């Protein structure tokens, strides 16, 4: 332990100008100590190289002033502190400290360099002021092999700068499960000269980068840099970005060379094709921008991607970007995706047109051009009576069958697999059967079927029925990349006289692990005449992908031969999420080796079953095992909570 000491004007040609701590395991504690003008190669003041169960704490108002890394090796650094964790189960805590005017020379991290693997690190309530270095003016962080870094507790970065490489305040590389969470933190007047990320630069390869409730004021970078506040390189779909509830004020890319200068506040270079973008790997929500500007393109946001038009559709269709309306706070801008006035604020460029940052302005495109042209959502209409499949399927001339609509091609401008196709039911219908949603579906593999006038959790519309009791064939089959949403509908059952076991809805994962998705929301399922008939089929069989059931009522079913509401197949890996839904008066006849009238699966492997938010199970019975739920197998995860 080092406590209440002063280290001043100390230098070394080796690592750790004042303190060098190396070895396996052990605990190192530094409290209330002042380091002034300390100089060393890695860690001007403090250096630690540890492995296995090592614990380092720097706390209680330690101060690092004018400390410096004297190494000319660009792989070394840490003007004040350098921490290297080579193996797992180590912890690092830096809390309530000050780093003032620390710097690196031709290396990493003006104040702090961290190269960490499989460990947990926290920076809490720390101030970084006037720190500078070639790569990460304050912090250089390399997080590997599930290492977690959390920067929080009103940590602040003020007037930090990077002189030649990315990251005015923070430069981070996240690999193989490495993560960084920055929350409740402030960046003010940070700058990256001639490179990306005025405050933060991060490169993600199978890692996670998250920002929550962070403010950026006066962040900037100079051309050929991009991203006045943040620059992100996202290398694959397993690399996750989340920026939430954060503000950007007077952030900008400044004129330098004529190259790049894109994204006054945020610049994202993503290698992910638009079809793989989702809220899991790309989410920018509840952001605010004031007086941000770009010398190149995209005052608030610029995205470099394989295809800008498609990327914009994916973001708009899945609401992956939401921006606060500062004239009507806390509401978000409702027409962000459709109003041309935002064209210069949110832009993108195709990777094929980048030309080393020399692309003319005409090669940049409004990120939401498809939305401005009306090509995000295409709506169709179904009516059982007085309609023909020869009609144009508009509200005035509805069609009769879903399969007829699904056999059509999307109009020019819409993109299959990205744009949303919505089919509205104007009446109940008994003409629907054998509907297949997959990559082979002509219209689209992303389909929403809903009652006309549907409003989430609303009551001011009529739940239209899809009646199927005359059919033996499965109503919906969803496979590979098929996405089906069923909103505000009423369902019954297949032919109760049939002994066939085809389910009402079938969800199947393809051999190459492409994951279908089914969402059932605000629906009602109830059997016709359960007092007279028992069903030989389950309602839903899933063998892969994702099934979400929310705010839905399923009631009055009689099952024989161990059929049930949801059948979990033994093949495939999948996730079942049941939210605020009710199951009542459901009964099952099954042998002693079977069971589960609501959810059942045997020999299942690696499933995630979540039942949450006040789900109700009432009057449920089975003659087998587990009246409501019966699951056996290897590595299932079952979560049941309020």
Phi and psi of 135, rounded to 5°? Answer: -145, 100
Residue owning tokens 């620059």? 231
Q: What is the pLDDT of residue 513?
A: 59
Tell me how crowded residue 591 is: count the other CB atoms within 10 A of its CB: 11
- 386 contact partners, CB below 8 Å, separation of at least 6: none
DSSP 402: H
- The tens digit of pLDDT for each residue in 267-295 reads 999 999 999 999 999 999 999 999 999 99
- The tens digit of pLDDT for each residue in 449-459 reads 999 999 999 99
What is the mean pLDDT of the segment spanning 110-136?
A: 95
d(CA 214, CA 521): 34
What is the mean pLDDT of the segment spanning 115-141?
A: 95
d(CA 217, CA 229): 8
Q: What is the pLDDT of residue 390?
A: 86
What is the average pLDDT value for the chain, to the nearest integer? 94
Smallest CA-to-CA distance from 203 within 123, 259, 151, 268 is with: 268
Residues 116 and 148 sit within 8 Å (Cβ to Cβ):
no
Asked if pLDDT for residue 66 goes beyond 80, the answer is yes
Percentage of the chain exceeding pLDDT 90: 86
Helix, strand or coil for residue 288? strand
Extended beta strands in 589-636, E state: 599-605, 608-612, 616-622, 629-634
- The tens digit of pLDDT for each residue in 609-618 reads 999 999 999 9
Q: What is the pLDDT of residue 510?
A: 64
560 by Cβ neighbours in 10 Å (0-12 / 13-18 / 19+) ranks as middle
Smallest CA-to-CA distance from 188 within 220, 210, 225, 166 is with: 220
What is the mean pLDDT of the segment spanning 370-381?
A: 97
d(CA 575, CA 608): 5
Q: What is the pLDDT of residue 91?
A: 94
- The tens digit of pLDDT for each residue in 591-600 reads 988 999 999 9
Residues 97 and 66 sit within 8 Å (Cβ to Cβ):
no
Residue owning tokens 């190396």? 22
Tell me how crowded residue 482 is: count the other CB atoms within 10 A of its CB: 27
6 by Cβ neighbours in 10 Å (0-12 / 13-18 / 19+) ranks as exposed
Both structure tokens of 177: 């499960």
Q: What is the pTM of this model?
A: 0.91
Both structure tokens of 351: 């990777």
- The tens digit of pLDDT for each residue in 139-195 reads 999 999 899 999 999 999 999 999 889 999 999 999 999 999 999 999 999 999 999
Phi and psi of 586, rounded to 5°? Answer: -125, 130
Q: What is the pLDDT of residue 511?
A: 58
Assign 512 a pLDDT band (cuts: 50, 70, 90).
Answer: low
Q: What is the pLDDT of residue 634?
A: 78
């Amino acid at each position: 332990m080092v406590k209440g000491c002063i280290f001043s004007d100390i230098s070394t040609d080796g690592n750790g100008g004042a303190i060098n701590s190396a070895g396996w395991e052990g605990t190192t504690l530094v409290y209330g100590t002042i380091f002034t003008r300390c100089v060393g190669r890695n860690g001007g003041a403090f250096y630690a190289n540890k492995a296995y169960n090592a614990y380092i704490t720097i706390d209680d108002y330690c101060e690092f002033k004018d400390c410096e890394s004297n190494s000319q090796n660009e792989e070394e650094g840490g003007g004040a502190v350098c921490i290297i964790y080579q193996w797992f189960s180590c912890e690092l805590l830096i809390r309530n400290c000050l780093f003032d005017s620390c710097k690196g020379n031709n290396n990493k991290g003006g104040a702090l360099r961290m190269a960490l693997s499989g460990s947990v690190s926290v920076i809490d309530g720390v101030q970084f002021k006037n720190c500078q270095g070639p790569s990460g003016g304050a912090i250089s962080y390399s997080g590997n092999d599930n290492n977690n870094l959390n920067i929080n507790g009103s940590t602040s970065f003020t007037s930090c700068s990077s002189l030649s490489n990315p990251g005015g305040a923070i430069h981070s590389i996240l690999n193989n499960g490495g993560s960084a969470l920055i929350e409740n933190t402030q960046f003010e007047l940070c700058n990256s000269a001639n490179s990306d990320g005025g405050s933060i630069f991060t490169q993600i390869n199978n890692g996670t980068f998250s920002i929550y409730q962070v403010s950026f004021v006066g962040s900037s970078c100079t051309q050929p840099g991009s991203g006045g506040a943040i620059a992100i390189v996202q290398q694959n779909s397993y690399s996750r970005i989340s920026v939430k509830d954060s503000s950007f004020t007077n952030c900008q890319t400044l004129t330098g060379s004529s190259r790049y200068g894109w994204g006054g506040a945020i610049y994202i270079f993503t290698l992910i094709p638009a079809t793989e973008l989702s809220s899991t790997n790309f989410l920018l929500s509840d952001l605010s921008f004031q007086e941000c500007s770009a010398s190149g393109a995209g005052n608030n946001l610029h995205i470099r991607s394989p295809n800008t038009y498609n990327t914009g559709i994916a973001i708009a269709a899945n609401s992956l970007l939401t921006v606060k309306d500062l004239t009507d706070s806390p509401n978000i801008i409702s027409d962000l995706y459709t109003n041309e006035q935002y064209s210069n604020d949110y832009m993108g460029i195709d990777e094929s047109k980048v030309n080393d940052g020399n692309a003319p302005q005409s090669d940049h495109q409004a990120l939401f051009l498809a939305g401005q042209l009306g090509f995000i959502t295409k709506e169709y209409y179904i009516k059982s009576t007085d309609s023909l499949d020869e009609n144009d399927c508009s509200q005035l001339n509805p069609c009769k069958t879903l399969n007829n609509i699904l056999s059509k091609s999307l109009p020019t401008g819409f993109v299959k697999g990205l744009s949303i196709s919505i089919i509205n039911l104007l009446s109940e219908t008994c003409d629907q059967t054998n509907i297949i949603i997959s990559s082979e579906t002509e219209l689209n593999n992303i389909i929403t079927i809903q009652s006309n006038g549907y409003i989430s959790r609303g009551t001011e519309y009529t739940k239209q029925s899809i009646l199927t009791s005359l059919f033996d064939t499965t109503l919906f089959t969803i496979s590979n990349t098929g996405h089906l949403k069923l909103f505000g509908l009423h369902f019954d059952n297949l032919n109760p006289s049939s002994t066939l076991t085809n389910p009402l809805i079938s969800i199947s994962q393809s051999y190459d692990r492409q994951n279908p998705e089914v969402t059932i929301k605000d629906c009602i399922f109830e059997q016709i005449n359960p007092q007279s008939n028992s069903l030989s089929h389950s309602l839903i069989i899933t063998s892969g992908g994702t099934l979400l059931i929310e705010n839905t009522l399923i009631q009055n079913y009689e099952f024989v031969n161990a059929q049930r509401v949801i059948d979990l197949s033994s093949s495939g890996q999948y996730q079942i999420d049941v939210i605020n839904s009710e199951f009542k008066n459901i009964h099952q006849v099954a042998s002693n080796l079977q069971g589960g009238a609501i959810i059942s699966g045997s020999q299942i492997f690696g499933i995630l079953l979540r039942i949450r938010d006040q789900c109700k199970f009432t009057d449920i019975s089975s003659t087998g095992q587990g009246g409501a739920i019966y699951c056996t197998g290897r590595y299932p995860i079952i979560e049941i909570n309020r």
